[in-house]
Amino acid sequence: MSIEELLEQMEQYRLRREQRDYRPDWMKQFVRSAANLFEPLEHIGRVGYDCRIDDRGWIVCMYLGATEIVGGVMDGHIDHASFRIDLRQLTELFEVVSRFEWYSLSNVTTRQSEQQIRSLISIQGRVCGDHELKLELLAVPPDFVGPGLHCRPDGMIYET
């Protein structure tokens, strides 16, 4: 085996290791169920999420991804998807709801992209037995997340 083949094999191993999904099965099912409740108001949308664990339990952050216009006069423009979600159905995914809150946050900054008021719904409780979970629904994706879809001037939409 040549050094190039060995390096390629090591790179493939690293990529496979990084792509492993360590979320428990109950968490994967919860995310799928919650994602199915997002209803885009225009066009289509792709649900994005982030799962992490801390000393109080799991935190799941969900949002409907943005679409970037590619080509034409609007090239590079980012559209945030408008959506609705049935909060009653969402709370039914929890066995016990201990907190249900809505936050409206404004950023004090000079950066144009961060001057928007952001809205966040937070639901905390128990799911699937005794698993503590905090679900955060964001009105727009976090700043560090790129667009999930691209739209060409002819209306053709494709995934990133």
Give a yes or no: residue 150 inside a domain: yes
Q: Examine residue 111 and state whether it is found in any structural domain, yes or no.
A: yes
Q: How far apart are CA 102 and CA 84, in angstroms?
A: 15
Q: Is residue 6 part of a domain?
A: no
Residue 12 lies in a domain: no
The answer to whether the pTM exceeds 0.75 is no
Q: Which long-range contacts (CB under 8 A, 24 or more apart) does 4-11 make?
A: none
pLDDT in tens, 76-126: 667 777 889 999 999 999 999 999 999 987 765 545 544 455 788 999 999
Count up the domains in the chain and report the number: 1
**15 within domain boundaries:** no
Q: What is the pLDDT of residues 11-49, one digit of tens each?
A: 777 666 656 667 889 999 999 999 999 988 876 777 889
38 occurs within a structural domain: yes
**Domain limits for position 142:** 25-159
